[in-house]
């Protein structure tokens, strides 16, 4: 029976490749144009998403100068949750959640809503939710928004089903590439997680789309739409965009330490995945389809929690900077890990439109900081790669995509010396996490949705 299923799958893959090649032969110019527009759409939605979140974040932080946090943060959290959930409930229920599992479900031939309406609601609702204090990231919505734009391009092209699947997956990868300025990471994620295919024609379509998205994002930054980016200079042209430039020293003894780090984070990553899934299940059991009530209560609760924490916790991007720059001590790193571990589960349980990759990077970086501190105390050796290796390892453990995780963490430094430590930590955490459960957090979210 298993051999028969594999034979059918291989036959389907061959037929899919044949139909895509036929489409390229007949409409190659239109296909190229569609891929360019998909990359542009993913870049625009990604830039607008990051800019919108930054504007709301700054507005909220400015209000904190005059209004006490214990009053302001719960109020903004509740109002933001109510507005975001109202948009989702009234206009597009499919726009709730991270968005990654939505695209994965579509690619696995599930019946899920697609289209520009879903992407636009995701854009606005996600900005409102994350900007009002929900500790989630922009990458999940970016994947769904990029996939929605790609689906519309395929519909206009009247493309066969096989091509629609490929371009939707490529659009999702393009969204990830635009958010993280990581075209290789977006390309690998599409192949490794979304499509599970490495046929030459598929690789060609995906790599073109993801690199176009990254290029468009740099061009949008050059004309002033994304001033926070730095991939283009008017006098020097395109530049290598390094978000962080840590001093890296990699010694043979670090190999053993990185394997130990991967084991620890592999266990913690699986624990985190189970916690998030449990919270999602509890949220549905307690509130059912009352997403407005869920997000309003969750927003108020999150605001109350963060109101009694230091100012650095009031903006999730600030936490990532503190960890990546290594400018915190072990107690602060431990606090960040515990707080973000708990609060991201609450935010996910509410159905808020936001991603988990960004929190995973922070969780992994903070645990890398803690483990590096203890290694220094016990051995006297100071591992300089642990923070970024921890970031990649945590994403790898939760998403079961070690190569994608490696390149996403690498994109933060663009330092080739980081690749070996990242590969060791990511592969180790991936293997350890799979010993508990072979499925990623997103695959289990799909099964959870089906069971409901």
Domains and their CATH numbers in the chain: 19-226 (1.10.3080.10), 254-451 (1.10.3080.10)
Each residue's pLDDT tens digit, 175-202: 888 888 888 888 888 888 787 766 777 7
Close Cβ partners of 277 (under 8 Å, ≥ 6 residues apart):
441, 444, 445, 448
- What is the per-residue pLDDT for 81? 95
Contact (CB, 8 A) for 364 and 395: yes
Percentage of the chain modeled with pLDDT above 90: 44
The structure's pTM equals 0.90
- Confidence at 90, pLDDT banded by 50, 70, 90: very high
Sign (positive/negative) of CA torsion 374, 380, 382, 386? negative
Residue 241 clears pLDDT 90, i.e. is over it:
no
pLDDT over 70 (residue 228): no
pLDDT, tens digit, for every residue of 96-128? 888 888 888 888 888 888 888 999 999 999 999
Say what the pLDDT of residue 218 is: 78
Query: pLDDT tens digit string along 377-410?
Result: 888 887 889 999 999 999 999 999 999 999 999 9
Mind listing the pLDDT tens digit for each residue in 7-54? Answer: 444 444 545 566 666 766 666 777 788 888 888 888 888 888 988 999
């Amino acid at each position: 029976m298993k051999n028969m299923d594999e034979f059918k799958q291989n036959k389907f893959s061959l037929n899919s490749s044949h139909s895509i090649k036929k489409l390229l032969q007949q409409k190659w110019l239109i296909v190229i144009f569609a891929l360019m527009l998909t990359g542009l759409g993913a870049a625009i939605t990604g830039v607008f998403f990051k800019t919108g979140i930054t504007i709301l974040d700054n507005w909220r932080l400015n209000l904190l100068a005059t209004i006490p946090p214990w009053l302001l943060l719960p109020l903004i959290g509740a109002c933001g949750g109510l507005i975001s959930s109202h948009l989702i409930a009234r206009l597009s229920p499919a726009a709730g959640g991270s968005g990654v599992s939505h695209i994965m479900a579509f690619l696995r031939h599930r019946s899920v809503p697609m289209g520009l309406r879903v992407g636009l609601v995701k854009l606005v609702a996600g900005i409102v939710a994350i900007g009002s204090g929900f500790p989630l990231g922009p990458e999940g919505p970016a994947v769904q928004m990029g996939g929605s734009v790609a689906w519309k391009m395929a519909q206009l092209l009247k493309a066969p089903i096989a091509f629609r699947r490929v371009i939707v997956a490529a659009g999702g990868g393009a969204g990830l590439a635009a958010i993280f300025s990581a075209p290789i990471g977006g390309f690998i994620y599409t192949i490794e997680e979304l499509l599970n295919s490495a046929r030459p024609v598929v690789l060609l379509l995906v790599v073109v789309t993801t690199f176009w998205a990254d290029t468009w994002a740099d061009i949008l930054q050059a004309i002033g739409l994304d001033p926070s980016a730095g991939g283009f200079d008017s006098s020097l042209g395109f530049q290598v965009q390094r978000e962080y430039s840590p001093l890296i020293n990699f010694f043979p003894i670090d190999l053993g330490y990185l394997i130990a780090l991967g084991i620890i984070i592999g266990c913690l990553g699986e624990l985190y995945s189970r916690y998030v899934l449990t919270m999602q299940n509890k949220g549905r059991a307690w509130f059912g389809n009352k997403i407005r009530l869920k997000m309003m209560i969750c927003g108020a609760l999150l605001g109350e929690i963060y109101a009694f924490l230091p100012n650095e916790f009031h903006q999730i991007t600030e936490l990532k900077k503190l960890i990546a720059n290594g400018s915190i001590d072990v107690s602060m790193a431990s606090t960040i890990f515990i707080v973000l571990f708990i609060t991201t589960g609450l935010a996910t349980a509410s159905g808020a439109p936001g991603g988990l990759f960004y929190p995973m990077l922070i969780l992994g970086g903070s645990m890398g900081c803690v483990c590096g501190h203890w290694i220094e105390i016990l051995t006297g050796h100071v591992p300089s790669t642990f923070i970024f290796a921890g970031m990649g390892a945590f994403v790898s453990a939760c998403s079961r995509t070690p190569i994608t995780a490696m390149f996403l963490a690498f994109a933060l430094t663009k330092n080739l010396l980081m690749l070996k430590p990242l590969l060791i930590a990511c592969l180790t955490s991936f293997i350890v996490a799979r010993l508990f459960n072979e499925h990623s957090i997103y695959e289990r979210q799909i099964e959870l949705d089906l069971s409901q």
